[in-house]
C-alpha cells in the first residue's frame, strides 16, 4: 500500500500528485483547548501539519490477550473509544458499557469518543449518547464530520470557495459551524441525470473542495458532479472522512461503509483522497494538543484493525482491540493480518470482570 503524506507549509499546499493549489495557505498543527470555541480553530504555532494515510508495517509481537485490566488502566491517562462496535451496534448499547465508563471516570481517566461515521455532527452524537443513557459531554466527542471542517480550517481554506458534499447532515452542520459555504448533501440524492445526445452537465467553478463521507442517498448525479469539480476546478481538494469498508447501521449485519462511496470517486477521478478520519494522524494530533496529553499516555480502544488500531499505532499510543464489532479472533490471528494491537479482549466490560478476577 502506498504511504502518501500531505505536508502543508507556510507558503503553499501540495496535497496530491499532479494537482496545483489555487491558494496559498498557512497551517499549523499546534492546537490547545483554549484556542477553539464552537468548533473553530485558531492557529497558534508554526509547526507544519502532516496528514498521513496508513503505513502497513507489521509489528514484531503478536497481540496479548488482556489479563490484567488494572495494569493497563493505571498505565494511561486517557482512553479513546471508537463508537460503532465498541460502545454500540446500530442503536443498541453493548452490554456493560455504562458500568465500564463509570468505573474509568471514577479512577480519574479522561474519556474521548472518536467515530469515523460522518452522518452526525458532534451535537447530534451527543443526543445519541444521551438517548442510550450515557453521560458524555459534546467536547468529548470527535466525529469525522467535525474532522473534515477542522482540517479545512487548519489550512485556511478560502471562505469565498465552496465545498461540495457527498455525505449526510453531519458534514453540513459542521461546515456551517465553521463558516464554510457548501452545496450537495442529501438534497442531491433526489437529482437525476437525463442522458440524451449532446447533454453537458454543468458544475460550480467555485467549488474548491469535495468532501466524501458515508451517504445513504448516494447516486450517479453525485459521482458525476464530484468528479467534474475534482478534475476540472484547478486545485480542488479531494477529502474523505474515512475509507471504512463496512459499518453497523443495524446490529443484525454489516453494511457497506463510507469507503464504497469514496471508492467510486477514486475510480472516476483516478486520484487518491486525503483522509481526515481514522487512521489518519490528523485527529490524534488534534486531540493530543487540545487536551495537552502525551500520546504515550493514551490507549486507543476499537474493533477495527485497519482503522482504530492503526490509528493508535500511527499516533504512538497503546492499543486494545475488542472483538465486539467487526474483527473476529480468526481475523486477528490470520497469517495475512499484519496489524497487531498491544492487547485484545472480548468487549470493554471485560475491564470489570478482569479487575474482579485479579482482586
Cell of 135: 453521560
Peptide bond into 94 cis (omega under 30): no
**DSSP conformation letters of 249-310:** SSSSS-EE-HHHHHHHHHHHHT-PPEE-STTSSHHHHHHHHHHT--GGGEEEEES-IIIIIH
CB 302 within 8 A of CB 24: no
> Could you give the CA distance from residue 127 to residue 122 in angstroms, rounded to a whole number?
9
Among residues 77, 138, 169, 254, which one is catalytic? 77
Q: Across-strand partners of 13?
A: 8
Cell of 267: 475510480
CB 132 within 8 A of CB 88: yes
CB 242 within 8 A of CB 116: yes
CB 265 within 8 A of CB 226: yes
Environment class of residue 65 by beta-carbon count within 10 Å: exposed (0-12), middle (13-18) or buried (19+)?
A: exposed
Helix (H) or strand (E) holding 78: strand 78-81
A 10 A CB-CB count for 338 gives 12
- How many angstroms separate the Cα of 40 from the Cα of each of 3, 174, 176, 281? 29, 10, 11, 19
DSSP-derived letter for residue 29 is: -
CB 25 within 8 A of CB 9: no
φ, ψ of residue 131 to 5 degrees: the values are -60, -35
A 10 A CB-CB count for 198 gives 4
**DSSP conformation letters of 59-83:** PSSPPEEP--HHHHHHT-SEEEE-S
**Catalytic status, residue 138:** no
> Could you give the CA distance from residue 323 to residue 338 in angstroms, rounded to a whole number?
17
Active site (catalytic) residues: 77
Amino acid at each position: 500500500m502506498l504511504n502518501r503524506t500531505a505536508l502543508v507549509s507556510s507558503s503553499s499546499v501540495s496535497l496530491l500528485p499532479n494537482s496545483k493549489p489555487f491558494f496559498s495557505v498557512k497551517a499549523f498543527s499546534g492546537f490547545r483547548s483554549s484556542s477553539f470555541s464552537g468548533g473553530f480553530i485558531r492557529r497558534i504555532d508554526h509547526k507544519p501539519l502532516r496528514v498521513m494515510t496508513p503505513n502497513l508495517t507489521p509489528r514484531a509481537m503478536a497481540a496479548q490477550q488482556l489479563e490484567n485490566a488494572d495494569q493497563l488502566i493505571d498505565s494511561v491517562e486517557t482512553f479513546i473509544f471508537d463508537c460503532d462496535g465498541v460502545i454500540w451496534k446500530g442503536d443498541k448499547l453493548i452490554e456493560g458499557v455504562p458500568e465500564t465508563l463509570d468505573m474509568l471516570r471514577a479512577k480519574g481517566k479522561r474519556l474521548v469518543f472518536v467515530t469515523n461515521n460522518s452522518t452526525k455532527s458532534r451535537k447530534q452524537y451527543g443526543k445519541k449518547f444521551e438517548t442510550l443513557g450515557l453521560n458524555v459531554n459534546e467536547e468529548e466527542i470527535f466525529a469525522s464530520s467535525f474532522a473534515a471542517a477542522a482540517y479545512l480550517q487548519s489550512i485556511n481554506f478560502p471562505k469565498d470557495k465552496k465545498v461540495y458534499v457527498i455525505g449526510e447532515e453531519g458534514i453540513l452542520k459542521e461546515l456551517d459551524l465553521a463558516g464554510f459555504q457548501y452545496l450537495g448533501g442529501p438534497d442531491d440524492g433526489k437529482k437525476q441525470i437525463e442522458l440524451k445526445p449532446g447533454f453537458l452537465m454543468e458544475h460550480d467553478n467555485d467549488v474548491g473542495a469535495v468532501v466524501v463521507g458515508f451517504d445513504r442517498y448516494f447516486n450517479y448525479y453525485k459521482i458525476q458532479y464530484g468528479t467534474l469539480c475534482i478534475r476540472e476546478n484547478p486545485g480542488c481538494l479531494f477529502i474523505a472522512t474515512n475509507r471504512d469498508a463496512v459499518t453497523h447501521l443495524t446490529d443484525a449485519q454489516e453494511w457497506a461503509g463510507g469507503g464504497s462511496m469514496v471508492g467510486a470517486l477514486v475510480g472516476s477521478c483516478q486520484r487518491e483522497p486525503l483522509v481526515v478520519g481514522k487512521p489518519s494522524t490528523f485527529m490524534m494530533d488534534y486531540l493530543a494538543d487540545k487536551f495537552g496529553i502525551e500520546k504515550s499516555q493514551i490507549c486507543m480502544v476499537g474493533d477495527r484493525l485497519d482503522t482504530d488500531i492503526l490509528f493508535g499505532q500511527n499516533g504512538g499510543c497503546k492499543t486494545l482491540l475488542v472483538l465486539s464489532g467487526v474483527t473476529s479472533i480468526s481475523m486477528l490471528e490470520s497469517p495475512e493480518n499484519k496489524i497487531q494491537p498491544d492487547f485484545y479482549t472480548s468487549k470493554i466490560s471485560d475491564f470489570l470482570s478482569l479487575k474482579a478476577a485479579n482482586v
